[in-house]
Structures are given as C-alpha cells and as structure tokens.
Amino acid sequence: MTETRRPPEVDRAAASRRAVAARRERAALKHDVAMRVITPQELLRRALAHPESPAGAMRITEYLTALPAIGEGKRDRILAALEISPVKRLGGLGARQRAALAQWLDERFPEPVARPGRSRLVVLAGPTAVGKGTVAAHIRDHHPEIMLSVSATTRPPRPGEVDGEHYYFVDDDAFDRLVETGALLEHATVHNKYRYGTPREPIERALADGRSVLLEIDLQGARQVRAAAPDAKLVFLLPPSWDELVHRLVGRGTEGEEERARRLRTAKHELASQGEFDYRVVNDDVARAAAEVATLAR
C-alpha cells in the first residue's frame, strides 16, 4: 500500500489557518461579553463544557480584561485573590478555581434571577433588529391564547399595515389626548422620532379575564411598565452574538447607514440595561424563542 504524504508546509499552512480562525472566534466571544450579549458566566460555562473550543482555550487574563470595567491592574489583583495563575486557560481551571471564579462573577456581575409567581403581563423588549417584531408575530400566529397588545403611534402606516391590527395610527393631537386622559399605560418617543404608547383598557380587561398579555415595546416603555405594574414580567430578547445583531439590522434593509450606526449605539446602552429584566431569552431560532416567551407568559 502506498501512502501519500502531504508535504509539511501544507500541514503548517492548515494549522496556521486554524490558529487564525480560533483567534478570530476568541476575539468575537470577548466582544460579545464586552457588549453584554453574553454574560461572563455563560462564556465560562461554554469554556468548561468544551475545553477544546475557542472559549476553553481562552487565557484567564484575556477573559478577565474582556469583562466590563476590568483593566490589567484589577485583573492581576483578582487573579491573586482567587489564587489562579495568569497562564491558566479557562478550559483548564481546576475545581476549586472554577468555584472561586464563579462565586466572584456572581457577586460582581449578578445574572437576572427568575421571579416566578408574577402577573401575566409580559413585556418583550430588546435592542434594535434583535427580532422583537418577528418573535411577537410568531406568538400572535401560534399562541392565540396570548393577547398581543396593539399600540397607538404617530408614525404613518407602512404599506400593508392595517389600522387597529398592527397599530392604531393617530396624529399628534389625538396622541396628546390619549396621554392627557390617562388612556396609556406607558408611552415614549422611540428612535427620536415618533411617539408610541400602550392602551391601558384592553390590557386590564384581558388580565381580568385571566388571559396573558404581551407588550412588544422599547426599553423606556418597559421601565414605565415596571413602575406602573411592578408584577409584570420583563423579558429581554438577546441576539446570539453582536455580529448577528449587526447582520440582522443590515439584512432587514430598512435603515440607511447613518441610522443603523445610531441604532447600534442605542443597542449598546440597551444591552447594558438587561439586568433590569426578569428573564433573558436568546433569539437564535424564532420558533424556539417564541415558545420560551409563551411559556413565560403562562
């Protein structure tokens, strides 16, 4: 049997391509943590579950400096306190080191804790283009038991949008009257442009009938609902990664470059506020994410 052997330079080239790809993937993961698309705990869980993956191969030093507000000085003090050597990789941490790091992370970056037994009023918010509208539409089509609130807006209808179904399209004066008469549970100017608000009465009626209600609104609205109805469940929809969020925004093709850049800057701030929410749902697959939100609405 003749064995065909590849020249060593071919193997070297392949190895170097793999190294570059792994480095790129590690950089993307660090960016996701820095942008708060994934929590530090999530990255650690991935590293420990797959020590051979790019997450597992990440040095503890790289990991710590990717965390919000951790510079090199703080990093070294943390490593000393946790008794972890700076040359360690995440996938190679010992049991005691994992436990110490996990405890430190939970104190420093607490993950939202599910708060069961809350009302059936569910707020779905999240950064631009994460898929809030898509997930809400899927819930409307597949979970008729959940009432999807129809907002009032001063934005003009887009082709195909039906008054009373997608939105109640009103002018500025009519919107003012809704605000003055207290007809809105919350309202806000979104993307610096048009006003949007949630009619209070249909929600109160549905909740009184024992139905679940879903509001797909922006972060300012979510905060007002929290203040007005502290028992509401606040759900934050997350993209699988920052790159995927950008990809969806570009792919939707509804904004020009300048508006996209502005929305992404807002998205960064919105992602940083996810700790105010009770639940986080990753919109990796629309049907799966919608099912998760529908379950929370029960």
Ligand X SMILES: Nc1nc2c(ncn2[C@@H]2O[C@H](COP(=O)(O)OP(=O)(O)O)[C@@H](O)[C@H]2O)c(=O)[nH]1
Ligand Y SMILES: Nc1ncnc2c1ncn2[C@@H]1O[C@H](COP(=O)(O)OP(=O)(O)O)[C@@H](O)[C@H]1O
Interface segment toward ligand Y; rule CB under 6 A; list 36-44, 52-60, 127-135, 154-162: 127-135
What are the backbone dihedrals phi and psi of residue 155, each rounded to the nearest 5 degrees, phi first?
-75, 140
Residue 37 binding ligand X, by CB under 6 A: no
286: amino acid identity, one letter:
V
Q: In what order do the strands lie in the sheet with 167-169?
A: 167-169, 151-153, 194-199, 184-190
For residue 197, the partner it binds in ligand X, ligand Y, none, with Cβ less than 5 to 8 A by kind, is ligand X
Residue 283 binding ligand Y, by CB under 6 A: yes
Among 41, 286, 291, 292, binds ligand Y (CB under 6 A): 286
Residue 132 binding ligand X, by CB under 6 A: yes
What angle in degrees, to the nearest 10, is found between the helix axes of 257-272 and 242-252?
140
* Of residues 166 and 252, the one with the C-beta less far from ligand Y: 252
Residue 120 binding ligand X, by CB under 6 A: no
Return binding residues. Answer: 126-133
Return binding residues for ATP. Answer: 126-133
For residue 251, the partner it binds in ligand Y, ligand X, none, with Cβ less than 5 to 8 A by kind, is ligand Y
Residue 195 binding ligand Y, by CB under 6 A: no
Q: Are 151 and 263 contacting, i.e. CB atoms less than 8 angstroms apart?
A: no
Q: How many CB atoms lie within 10 A of CB 257?
A: 8
- The minimum distance between CB 159 and ligand X, in angstroms, equals 13
By CB atoms closer than 10 A (0-12, 13-18, 19+), residue 125 is buried
Residue from 21, 94, 9 nearest 60 by CA: 94
Residue 218 binding ligand X, by CB under 6 A: yes
- The minimum distance between CB 100 and ligand Y, in angstroms, equals 36
What is the spatial distance between Cα 5 and Cα 238, in angstroms, rounded to a whole number? Answer: 47
Residue ranges binding ligand Y (CB under 6 A): 128-134, 248, 251-252, 283, 285-286
